[in-house]
Chain A
Amino acid sequence: MIGFAVLFIVIAISRVEILSVDEYYLTHIDDIKKDSEVITVSIRCDTILNNMDKLAPELRDEKYVPRDGIILEESQYVLRSGDTVFDILNRAVRYNKIHMEYQGERDNAYGSAYIRGINHLYEYSCGPLSGWMYKVNGEFPGKGISKYKLKDEDKVEFVYTCDLGRDVGGSFYSERN
């Protein structure tokens, strides 16, 4: 009889879910399953490690610039239909409680969301040529972050540049020169 009791208690506490289909879908939307479409996201600022002298003094702290320059290591997120790079970034930073400040699509001259800062690192935080850039599958798309639609298995990298992109493999500059 005690055996029965323990079994019931275990069942009760072990997050048994009794859900409607909609509820199940809502709470499991980001679960990665075998057939899930996924996006890999990472956020790095390792270029700052070589430019600490240029970094605004109040940001010279591991809280803002981690020792290895990794703010978010490569992590996978489920691709929801219609997701843009902005949507994925927005989810990734929220789920990991990483600070981000952005301007909405309607609030700026580019007609695309505009990332002002991530993890308290802003444009110009590390010298006049610094700011955030993003790559998809190793290339700089050069498109508004909320205009770029993602597809299954895309790899999105957010990288902080201290040199107009040249220190993060920015193809634009090298081709121009």
Chain B
Amino acid sequence: MGRLVGIIVSFACLLVFINPIAAFAEHRDYSQPEIQQTIENAIDWKKSTNKNAKGNLICNEVLDNAGTEVSDWYGFAVGRLGIQDDTQAYLEMVKQNITKRYNSEGKLDDAKATEWHRIALAVLSLGGDPTQIGTDSDRQPINLIADGVYYRGRTKPLSEQGINGLTWGLIILDSMRYKTPVDAMDTRDTIIPEILARQLKDGGFSLDGEQTDVDITAMTIQSLAPYYNSEQIYTYVSKWNNKEIKASVRQVVDQALECLSTQQMPDGDYSSWGVENAESTCQVLIALSALGIDPLTDQRFIKGENTVLDGIMKYRSSDGGFIHSYTYDEENLSAEPDKSNSMASEQTLRALTAYYRYLVGYRALYDFRPEMTVDLKEKIAQLNQDIIKIKNSGKQNISMIESLFDRYMEVPIEERCYVYSYKHLAEMMSDANLSNTSEYLAAAMNITEKGNGAVTDLFNTGNGIYEDYLFTDRDYQDYKSIPDQPATAYYSQVIALLGKISSAQNAEEYPGVKEDLEVKKAHVEAVLEKIDELNELIMETLYPFEKLGIADKKNVDQIVKEIESLQDSDQLKVLGYEDVIRAKTQIDSQLRALVIGISVFVMAIILISVVVYRIKKKRKERLPDYEDDEDLSL
């Protein structure tokens, strides 16, 4: 999503030069420990890029951007791996961020429903509940699922930003199998056919509705994956040829997979917008993992020997991070061909986590329900194996197939998407003319209303459970380091500590800390508000400079005074401070000119008066002589 959001405004242009030392993929059958190691190295790389990481990935720099695409996917990765980190701090920061944004008219965004979706995914991943996080302007809890998906249509269509709004809306709706209410503007029954209708001639999907894009195609498959086993036939009008089509999700997804298979490059990787890159390849791996397709064995996704995993590892950098592309990509603003890149590393983390979850038998990347029981997992795994075994034996008979189908029907409807080889069973049944009575899956998705996302300790480190949260001595030291009247730079630290102390079980061991942090938070928020006001005032009153005159002096002096009352680091946050100084200088010089002018004028008057007076006096002195003369003459 991030990458494509970027593409639109990111000033399109072609790649210009090709790095001569472009790496090549080398095939390996990556083992589970190797995948784990790669993930851990990428996490360490991210930590190394943050100055104040203190052993955590979630540090001030990451917290500052909580609720935006810069940080949310890292928060998501931490939660999805179940590694110990400052997760409470992140949730608290997200809460503050959305509460603040809900005060504006467009709330999280005017056009992009995906803002709600991405944040909800991060919240679920970290064990939070996106149906009640933060408060809106009426002091009601915010429900990201309602506002961002099923009631989104009340303000803007879910598809306002194109297909992304639909696919991510569906992903988040299914993340906990959320119930849609009777007055919903969008439901699974409206969203799915809208997505299917956007399939292109070659089976792919795209933002522009014309040329297939790998990222969009892969993300679309991810959103449709939970319906792959559904026998429901959807009727829709295809957008590209306006023809009515009747198809199941499986038919559509199979065509999309075929399209992705042909688009795969010899190294196993993918390209988007003409540039071979890590992110597109990552999205494909997430899609394959969601469908339970083994990238190491499925021939559709192996080119030469190279798999999608080889395609991703090609972009691994020696520092543990991942680069975006070996070709210089003019349309990804910062990605350099030889440097680990934040977006590429973040998407790789997501992709390898998705694949790891598939390997170990955990729920899919975007399925946040508690794990199935071991018993059920084993049943499903056994059924998957048996379907393949019987299909490959070529000796299947009707009773064998019927028995497999009975076992499939014993799997609870909401878990049938995990019977990855069901497709082969359905085909055997159809070949044998057996009627398929399995229920439609979309109808079985209406399960949850609210609740926290389930967190699993993926690497069995034993400390990944976020529930027993303790406020530590180190947290206390952090708290002590905050001054009484903190500058705004302390904001994320204050919020983070507030989040920790609020959820800590041992909060009573630190009396007064929470109250004091509330005071500090209020102080910083007041300063932030003041800065906003100043920015607005400057914008309104300072321009154009030519029109500024002595009449504006009072106002400009007041602005200067208020800026100077801020702490140094906060003064820099006032936009156009330089312009304020310039305005002040301009006005002061005018005033000075006026004062000097008036003084010169007054002095001139005095001078003239003196001269005139003296002339008159001189005349007066001479006058009596005349008078005398006159007298004489008379």
Q: Which residues of A contact B (CB under 8 A)?
A: 1, 4-5, 8-9, 11-13, 15-19, 23, 26-27, 29-30, 56, 94-97, 107-112, 114-115, 122-125, 128-134, 139-145, 147, 163-165, 170-173, 175-177
Contacts and interface: CB of A to CB of B under 8 A. Distances in A.
Given A26-B581, A110-B6, A165-B12, A143 B330 contact: yes
B596 A18 contact: yes
Interface string B465-504: 0000000000000000000000000000000000000000
A17 B10 CA distance: 45
A169 B332 CA distance: 19
B333 A147 contact: yes
A111 B333 contact: yes
A109 B343 contact: yes
B593 interface: yes
Contacts of A141: 11, 13, 330
A173 B207 contact: no
Interface residues of B, number: 62
A125 B112 CA distance: 10
Nearest to B332: A110
A2 B592 CA distance: 24
Q: Is the interface of A mostly helix, strand, loop or mixed?
A: loop
Given A8-B597, A109-B342, A133-B12, 19 more contacts: A4-B604, A12-B597, A13-B597, A16-B593, A16-B597, A17-B589, A26-B581, A27-B545, A27-B589, A29-B582, A30-B545, A114-B9, A115-B9, A140-B11, A141-B11, A142-B11, A172-B13, A172-B273, A172-B331
B36 interface: no
B111 interface: yes
A15 B598 contact: no
B390 interface: no
Nearest to A112: B333
B13 A8 contact: no
B9 A132 contact: yes
Contacts, number: 171
Interface in B561-612: 576, 579, 581-582, 585-586, 589-590, 592-594, 596-598, 600-601, 604-605, 608, 612
29 contacts: A4-B604, A8-B600, A8-B601, A11-B597, A12-B594, A16-B596, A17-B589, A17-B590, A26-B581, A27-B586, A97-B540, A97-B543, A97-B544, A111-B333, A122-B110, A122-B111, A123-B9, A124-B112, A124-B162, A128-B160, A129-B208, A130-B8, A133-B12, A140-B12, A140-B13, A142-B331, A144-B334, A172-B13, A176-B211
